[in-house]
């Protein structure tokens, strides 16, 4: 099973920079484009009344300034990734995804 630092590295490689933030406090000044992510849930699989497999689900928010950015499409192509919604706030574009990793 992959761990959170592996996901951090994967997202940094997709973004092409280190602007990937795991559960950043409000005091952190993010640089854009950026990816903010946090753990959303843990999915358990059961057999014989016991957990035999666990998958972490992460909520990813891709934040960017260029409306024609291909970054959301790169994230959407990840295995076990689902697009949730798009919104605009503070003149920034946001796309949220759920990723099982």
- Domain coordinates in residue numbering, the chain: 4-23+37-100
Task: Using pLDDT thresholds of 50, 70 and 90, give the confidence band for residue 2.
Answer: confident
The closest of 70, 65, 72 to 96, measured between CA atoms, is 72
Average pLDDT over residues 61-85: 96
In this prediction, residue 35 carries a pLDDT of 98
In this prediction, residue 1 carries a pLDDT of 53
Q: From CA 78, how far away is CA 75, in angstroms rounded?
A: 6
CB atoms within 10 A of CB 67: 7
Q: 10-66 pLDDT, tens per residue?
A: 999 999 999 999 999 889 999 999 999 999 999 999 999 999 998 899 999 999 999
């Amino acid at each position: 099973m992959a761990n959170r630092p592996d996901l951090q590295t994967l997202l940094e490689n997709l973004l092409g920079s280190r602007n990937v933030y795991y559960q950043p406090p409000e005091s952190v000044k993010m640089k854009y484009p950026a990816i903010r992510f946090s753990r959303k849930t843990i999915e358990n699989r059961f057999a014989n009344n016991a957990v035999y497999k666990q998958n972490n689900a992460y909520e990813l928010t891709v934040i960017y300034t260029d409306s024609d950015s291909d970054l959301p499409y790169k994230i959407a192509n990840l295995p076990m990734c689902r697009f949730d919604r798009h919104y605009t706030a503070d003149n920034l574009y946001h796309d949220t995804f759920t990723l099982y990793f």
